[in-house]
Structure 1
Amino acid sequence: MPLEHGELPTREAYEDAVYPEFYDMLIPRLFSDSNTNEDIRLAVNQMNDMHVKSASDRFAILDIGTGTGRAALDLVKAMRAEETLHGNIFDILLLEPSASMLVEAVAKLADLSCATSASTDTRAKIGDVQTFQILAEDLGETLSDKGLLGKIDFAMFTAGGLSHITDEQDLRRFLKGTARCLNADHGRLMLSILNEFISDQLAEEIETVNTDETVCFRSQKHPGMSMTKYPTKMQIDPMTGCRTDSFVFETKAADGEVEKRILQWTVRMTYLKQWEEMLAECGLTVEETRQGKIQKYWLLKRA
């Protein structure tokens, strides 16, 4: 249930029309560049390994919960900087349920694709870009309908997105569906969960995301508009163990008009033993785990 903030309207954060721009500005501040990009470094290492093992020079990358495209964009840029990946083509599949977020991601990739399309540019290139405005748990069925089962070379779901699948059956459906989509030989799935969403680690002195401050940015898309996020409030549902985070989000237009609303999201808390048992039950084998600064990673392959 949403937390009480007076009579303000409440909506899902990622469905708000203005919040995607604010989110783009907030991410570096929340995670810091070194934390935000640790998933990209791990992904590039995996792509290099895949390039060595595969005879192909074209790979399909699936970014699950793409948001505004931060991970997909940074990954393409990083791969273009890798000499070992020069000459390769990467088809990008973006999965994101929020229409407003997906629009941002597609625009960024389109700009990058145009900027790197010169025939004399021998670095890694963006191939086809496909978008899927669906929930993560519907991934298996959707890619099956598109003839993409077994065709994904690398998939990633990072920066806490996985925890937004709050129902256990939906989570199992997501894991089983994603396993079926991976290339049986070299396909890999990289998942991460933020430390603060792992119940086993809450008592440990592990870094978490700071959401206790008020943050204000000037909009670049709406001249004269300011956007302010107030401190996050958290509530645990004792029946489900899920956590709802909510905060007041305020926009002030150039003409002085102020709009306030409550934005929220709900996340599933993870218990590591049950989580890793679930991975095995859903047809995934853990190849590697790694503790990042603010999140824990699993590199998985089909069992």
Structure 2
Amino acid sequence: MPDLLKDKVVVITGAGRGVGQCIAEYCSQQGARVVVNDLARDEDGKPIAEAVAEGIRQNGGQAIASTANIAQRVEVEEMIQTTVDLWGRVDGLVNNAGILRDRIFHKMSEEEWDQSIAVNLKGCFNTARAVAPFMKEQGSGAMVHMTSTSGLIGNFGQSNYAAAKMGLVGLSKSIALDMQRFNVRSNCIAPFALTPMIMAGIPRDTEEGRERWKILEKMEPEKVAPLVCALIADGGAHINGQIFGARGNEVYFFSQPRPVRTAHIGDGEGINAEAIIDRVFPMFKDDLYPLHRSMDIFSWDPV
């Protein structure tokens, strides 16, 4: 059995199905002891996390299930304390859980906004904050947070999701900066994968929807797990504060915002709005970013 994560303890949220389940199973195969966290239940009312954990145990791995709601800090803290009480440490956290509440912006309700932020951003803060003291004390640890090209690039009808996922990028960078002195690292992944959450939001009755399905059906959730494992493993110990992507057999690396042009107004009058309109905006015209959507940038078929 491979052992890139031998004896490590890894907590994965949203691990009851899709990408999270694949990550939990892959980490177990690499020797990790796994906490399978998912709030959802099946049609019989049974926690889907327990079914995944049981499958891991039947295959010779070590796993426990958790139904903690990551949007509730008390439940998250109880989950992490249970993990430490059982296995003595937490080496990896994978913030994979997420929800969609898609709506074009001028029709989005406050409730749809709040629900998305509560899970997709605050939930990740809750889990990261809960594991941080334990990782600090043991002098090691790795966090992996699932961001999205909906925020990094853009998509229609996802202002709540995009804001949360871009907020998560900022959270990850801040964790990386604050925790590096304790040998704790934090990175982001923007995954492409066909999951139940994604499937529910893409129509099949439009030409655009059908074209998206043709591409997404090739994006297996299993292909995200190796990158997660690599970032948690000791071989990824030098990677911190970065943003990666996983799409089929591709791994890609995202740039981060840095100044690309500068304009100095030094005619003695100082800066003013008229000068910016007349001189600065024309200078920057060829460098402005078009309003791309994710699928405009990732237009090739996955391999």
TM-score over 0.5 for the pair: no
Whose strand proportion is higher, 1 or 2? 1
| Range of TM-score over shorter length | 0.3 to 0.5
- Which has the larger Rg? 2
| Higher RCO (C-alpha 8 Å, min separation 6) | 1
